[in-house]
């Protein structure tokens, strides 16, 4: 048996593989079969939607180009029915846009290899719950955006599973463009391909020559997506926002 062809092929090759599959894959699957997988839409919550609205206000033109113009905020003086309908339309718009952005954001996160330097789980040891927030629970991972799960493998940069709401969208934009401008010690690569120039403007220089200048830099679709994904991480937790939050810069009206 131990040296025969059938023994080696069937017992070792197929049998032991199946045993390990049973123990290490089927057993955990059976244990979690009653926890249904949430869709992206089901994971949306007030925290991440608020950040999505902030993105649309902050980078108005660029956001409208990639996700469409959000329905305007109703005036307070409007009658209650109109008010409810307009707020509802606005909510539906942001839910759709946010789900789109999160799906793309996850694929950007995977495709850019973010998960090879950033983990997404907090361990119950090594003072991690004091640094990051509550220890990871299994329900956090039962959703479409964790298929396959992104526990991560190395922490060159910090854990991101409680990153949502910790910093403002403007911080993330600057940080993705050139990480060392916000974190001087960072070794993270620059991601200028998450950004694009919005429009051009005609100016006249001191010699009277006309010049065409690129407009200000704003996130492109991938940029919005990855920022929304950052803000989604941990946004479902009860103690969201209990971290060392960095306040977002107030939006300046003259920005495009």
Region 120-139 residues binding other proteins, contact defined as CB under 8 A:
121, 123-128, 130-131, 136-138
Answer for the pair 168, 138: CB distance below 8 angstroms, yes or no.
no
Among 73, 116, 211, 256, binds other proteins (CB under 8 A): 116
Answer yes or no whether residue 246 interacts with other proteins by CB under 8 A.
no
Q: How far is the CB of 90 from other proteins (least distance, A)?
A: 31
Site for other proteins in 2-41 (CB under 8 A): 2-5, 8-9, 11-14, 16-17, 19-21, 23-25, 27-29, 31-32, 35, 37
Which residue from 217, 150, 139 is spatially nearest to 178, judged by alpha carbons? 217
Q: How many H helices and E strands in the chain?
A: 10, 4
Site for other proteins in 168-187 (CB under 8 A): 180, 183-187
Answer for the pair 153, 119: CB distance below 8 angstroms, yes or no.
yes
Window contacting other proteins (CB under 8 A); options: 43-51, 67-75, 84-92, 154-162: 154-162
Rounded CA gap, 127 and 31, in Å? Answer: 28
Answer yes or no whether residue 250 interacts with other proteins by CB under 8 A.
no
Answer yes or no whether residue 148 interacts with other proteins by CB under 8 A.
yes
Q: How far is the CB of 75 from other proteins (least distance, A)?
A: 43
Nearer to other proteins, 94 or 194 (CB): 194
Q: Which residue has the tokens 């526990």?
A: 151
Rounded CA gap, 251 and 255, in Å? Answer: 8
Rounded CA gap, 87 and 81, in Å? Answer: 10
Window contacting other proteins (CB under 8 A); options: 63-71, 74-82, 97-105, 117-125: 117-125
List Cα–Cα distances, 256 to 13, 19, 61, 132, in angstroms: 62, 60, 7, 35
DSSP conformational letter for 69 = P
Window contacting other proteins (CB under 8 A); options: 43-51, 62-70, 78-86, 104-112: 104-112
């Amino acid at each position: 048996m131990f040296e025969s062809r059938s023994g080696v092929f069937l017992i070792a090759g197929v049998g032991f593989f199946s045993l390990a599959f049973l123990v290490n894959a089927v057993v955990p699957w059976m244990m979690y079969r009653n926890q249904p997988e949430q869709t992206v839409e089901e994971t949306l919550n007030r925290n991440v939607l608020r950040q999505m609205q902030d993105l649309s206000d902050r980078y108005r033109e660029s956001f409208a180009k990639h996700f469409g113009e959000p329905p305007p905020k109703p005036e307070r003086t409007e009658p209650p029915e109109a008010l409810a309908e307009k707020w509802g339309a606005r909510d539906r718009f942001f839910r759709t846009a946010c789900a789109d952005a999160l799906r793309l954001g996850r694929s950007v996160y995977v495709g850019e290899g973010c998960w090879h330097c950033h983990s997404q789980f907090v361990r119950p040891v090594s003072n991690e719950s004091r640094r990051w927030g509550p220890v990871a629970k299994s329900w956090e991972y039962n959703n479409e955006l964790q298929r396959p799960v992104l526990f991560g493998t190395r922490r060159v940069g910090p854990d991101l599973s409680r990153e949502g709401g910790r910093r403002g969208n403007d911080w993330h934009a600057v940080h993705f463009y050139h990480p060392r401008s916000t974190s001087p010690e960072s070794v993270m690569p620059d991601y200028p391909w998450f950004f694009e120039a919005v429009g051009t403007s005609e100016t006249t220089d001191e010699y009277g020559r006309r010049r065409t200048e690129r407009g200000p830099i704003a996130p492109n679709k991938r940029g919005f997506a990855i920022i929304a994904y950052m803000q989604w991480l941990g946004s479902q937790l009860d103690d969201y926002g209990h971290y060392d939050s960095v306040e977002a810069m107030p939006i300046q009206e003259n920005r495009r």
